Amino acid sequence: MSNLKILVVEDEEAIREMLVMVLEQANLTVIAVGSAEQARESLADNMVDLIILDWMLPGISGVELARRLKNEPGYKELPIILLTARGEEEDKIRGLEIGADDYVTKPFSPKELIARIKAVMRRSGKLSESGQLSVGDLTLDAEQHKLTIAGRSLEVSPTEFRLMQFFMTNPDKVYSRTHLLDQVWGRSVYIEERTVDVHIRRLRKILAEYGREELIQTVRGFGYRFSMAN
């Protein structure tokens, strides 16, 4: 779950520190602020992947901030987890109505919080498939950001790494160039379809050094497939 940035909005310092520690422990990048106003500033400067928002805040309350964000086009998709005092059942309902993606009650268990973050991230498709992916003797470790074949590490560029990550997460299926562009490059960029060929070529070249170029197969008329089976 690396490389995700979380914005924590909590006015009480002890709890804020607690949150920061728990989140950093879980390998997340954290920005912590104490009010809705500061949260706004942070959002303007930083792209964050999720907000953890205290229900009660001085000035503009957490619920209010959540409600507003969920009505703004730019932040509609930004997952929000609300932090509420224990047992306020109506709060939970109201929070979810407003559009919060989940909520956690104080005091919170670190495990639970992390689990909920993961769940929300997974739902919004932001979870970058943590841990180790293995296909045959190929291993991709997201944490180390390292790709190895039979223990020897491969030198791949960032884009190649992401492409490989995608392939290893979805093996044995054909993907069109368009689909690959969407998934690996991101929906918002327009790039020539042919560019995919070039990156496939680069990956194959690297794999070929270990006699594994057949891992990435061409499916004429459709696209490419990553598979152990020939």
Partner DNA sequence: GCGCTATATTACCGTTTTGTGACAAAAAAA
Partner DNA sequence: TTTTTTTGTCACAAAACGGTAATATAGCGC
Question: Residues in the site for its own copies, rule: CB under 8 A?
Answer: 2-3, 12-15, 17-18, 20-22, 24-25, 27, 29-30, 32, 106-112, 143-146, 153, 157-158, 172-174, 176, 178-179, 182-183, 187, 219-222, 225, 227, 229-230
Instruction: Pick what 204 binds: DNA, its own copies, none; C-beta below 5 to 8 Å, kind-dependent.
Output: DNA
Q: Which two tokens stand for residue 55?
A: 């229900």
If one asks whether residue 185 binds DNA (CB under 7 A), the answer comes out as yes
**What φ, ψ does residue 176 adopt, rounded to 5°?**
-75, 160
Instruction: Pick what 160 binds: DNA, its own copies, none; C-beta below 5 to 8 Å, kind-dependent.
Output: DNA
| CA separation for the pair 223, 217 (Å, rounded) | 9
Q: How far is CA 192 from the centre of its chain?
A: 25
If one asks whether residue 211 binds DNA (CB under 7 A), the answer comes out as no
Are the CB atoms for 206 and 156 separated by under 8 Å? yes
Instruction: Pick what 13 binds: DNA, its own copies, none; C-beta below 5 to 8 Å, kind-dependent.
Output: its own copies
Residues in the chain: 230
Residue among 190, 211, 229, 230 that touches DNA (CB under 7 A): 190
**164-203 b/e (C-beta count within 10 Å ≥ 16 → b):** bbbbbeeeeeebebebbbebbbeeeeeeeeeebeebbeeb
Q: Are strands 102-106 and 5-9 parallel, antiparallel or unpaired?
A: unpaired
Q: Which stretch binds DNA (CB under 7 A): 87-95, 103-111, 126-134, 149-157?
A: 149-157
Residue 27 or 218 having the CB closest to DNA:
218
Residue 98 or 119 having the CB closest to its own copies:
119
If one asks whether residue 17 binds DNA (CB under 7 A), the answer comes out as no
If one asks whether residue 46 binds DNA (CB under 7 A), the answer comes out as no
Q: Could you tell me how many residues of this chain bind DNA (CB under 7 A)?
A: 26
**What φ, ψ does residue 92 adopt, rounded to 5°?**
-55, -50
- Nearest C-alpha neighbor of 101 from the set 54, 176, 61, 51: 51
Residue 2 or 124 having the CB closest to its own copies:
2
If one asks whether residue 45 binds DNA (CB under 7 A), the answer comes out as no
If one asks whether residue 164 binds DNA (CB under 7 A), the answer comes out as no
Residues contributing to the site for DNA (CB under 7 A): 155-160, 185, 189-192, 194-195, 197-202, 204, 218-223
